[in-house]
Structure 1
């Protein structure tokens, strides 16, 4: 049986070194194949090295540990194409006990900062048992995606004839529409401010620290991140379908599924085709 492998993603160098040292003492057989300093690097390294376990810091600059895990789940090669099993996930966090209830509900393991050997020993024991009884690859990936949906607050699939239901409260990243959803976007155009009704928006696209706002025949830039804008929208009408895209539900004409199961949206008033990530594929199902 090959030696188990792991990736550590932690932006604080001393904490990363401490975790690596503690793992070496508790689990000598474990090979640390990669050390990442931020979320984007964690995704790249995990896709390259295909570790059995990923230790992901929750709060990293740029992409958080949860977002990195979601991106990794979306990019992980399908087992039908020769992909390896999706890694077991352990989150390293400084969240208080209330927030940790979300991790307990999602059955995802976590360790608190600063990492204590006794608690890490429990995690190591669980990981060894999980690796010994590892699920078949497709089931492992689907299970991880379902857990991540709960942690990220991704809405549940729409009820028949209804809209997407909000995820349970208590997750580290909660969603759900505001009491008074945004009705207009104030967009700077030259020396003027244009009020764009959200009803006119076809979709929104992340563009670094900006958001591209696309209507049927116009495009604007708003100085806000997609993550900041989403909580201000009516999430019954605006669905996040990818880390970088939010779509007006009424603007979706058709959802195409290819031979590999990947979903693509065709829009009513725009020529672009938008990919749906695995994290949000459950929102689209035939009635």
Structure 2
């Protein structure tokens, strides 16, 4: 079984990659690093321990474009060691494939990562290390421990998860207008919009926060703001969209405004503060 390190400076993508890797029964452990410095620190510890040591790493799943050192830079550094871990590049860019394979990469996986494509990269790494290469049949049917109540994937372009399709396509894939399709590790489930307390922007993605956890979708926050305005969602900050009905407190402190939504305290930008106060006052007075 493989000991894996995944490296990506985009946290949502790193979390998804780790979920997929940990769902593969051929992967014994999967750690994450969000920058080149952290990755090199962990790899150095693995090299010092040796491939058979407790801190050993068999395969590094490595993004190419990162702040500071790139994934190619890290691979070049590792190439100077006698027994470095294998490298699988995971990137949104096709143009580095030749350089990657010149550096003896095991595989070159394009984002958005499809579970079956990542499984093939794991198989290739296992084959190169002389490990068992075939995942049990249950793994092919979907990752174990998937979200409860999961349903078959919604229709869409072959091999492209709902969370990675354009917003218009995700809308068409929603089961009803009262739900939104979210995906994790190739399993699609439907979240009731009424259960969403607030939404947080994360780059090109949006994270939907509910009482039971959070879900990532590749839809801009501005799109959700427009789509859900009639459902009582208001923009309070460039990073946050909040369900008015879920606001428990409005706080004013030394010229700053914030709201409490469950256990979360969210800042309200100066631009949105007055409008939010007016809306809440109208709501309170009927």
Question: So what's the TM-score if we normalise by structure 2?
Answer: 0.39
Larger Rg: 2
